[in-house]
Structures are given as C-alpha cells and as structure tokens.
Amino acid sequence: MYRLDPNPTFWAKVTVRPLGGGANEDFRVKFRALPASEYNAYDLNNPEQTRDFLVDTLEDVEDIQTLDGKSLAYSDAIRDQLIDLSHVRLAMVNAYHATFREALSGN
C-alpha cells in the first residue's frame, strides 16, 4: 500500500569539486520534495530562480565545517552562504535531481 506524504522530504549527498582542484568534498542536505506544479514554476537556468528554488527546498545540512574543522549547524545564514557559492549551488541542484532520477528509475 502506498502512503501519501503531503510534505515529503529526503536527504541527499552533495559532492562538491573544490575550485582550483583537489579532492571532492561531500556534505548532506535535507530537501523538501516539490510537487511538479511548484517545481515547474522555476527556471533553473536563471540564477535568481535557482537561488529561490534552493531557499524553498533546502531544510537542513550535515557535515559542514569551517576551515579549522569546527562543525557548523544549519541556519539561514549557512544556507545562504552555500547558495551564494556558484559551484556549491550547482552541486546541490544536481543532488536534488540525482535523487529524483534514482527514485524514478525504480518505478
């Protein structure tokens, strides 16, 4: 039996390739899964709409640290810093889509 969740969320691994090279770095993001009607309202080729998409879907992060290794808790300020970094923004959007592609492949 299928259980309809009116507000589904999911965790996804985000892999970021650092600017200038080096080993990839990972963190986890909890997203709100948008219904198609909301998702289709975003033009993810538009930087401002991509930002709005992530503000609307990003609910939590894990495994984020400062340069000196101190763990950072989720806050709107941390969310906004992540979104403001173009390469991290792209990695988060890719993680959102990858999770949906994986789910769709099983249906």
Burial 74-93 (b: 16+ CB within 10 A, else e): beeeebeebbeeeebbebbb
* Domain residue ranges of the chain, discontinuous segments joined by +: 16-105
Please list, in sequence order, all residues whose beta carbon lies within 8 angstroms of the beta carbon of residue 90, skipping any fewer than 6 positions away: none
Q: Give the predicted TM-score (pTM) of the model.
A: 0.90
For the record, the structure tokens of 25 come out as 């770095």
In angstroms, rounded to a whole number, what is the distance separating the alpha carbons of residues 57 and 54? 5
> Tell me: the pLDDT tens digits for 61-95?
999 999 999 999 999 999 999 999 999 999 999 99
In angstroms, rounded to a whole number, what is the distance separating the alpha carbons of residues 87 and 84? 9
Longest dimension (CA), the chain: 49
Cβ atoms of residues 26 and 14 within 8 Å: yes
Residues in the chain: 107
Q: Quick one: pLDDT band at residue 19, thresholds 50, 70, 90?
A: confident
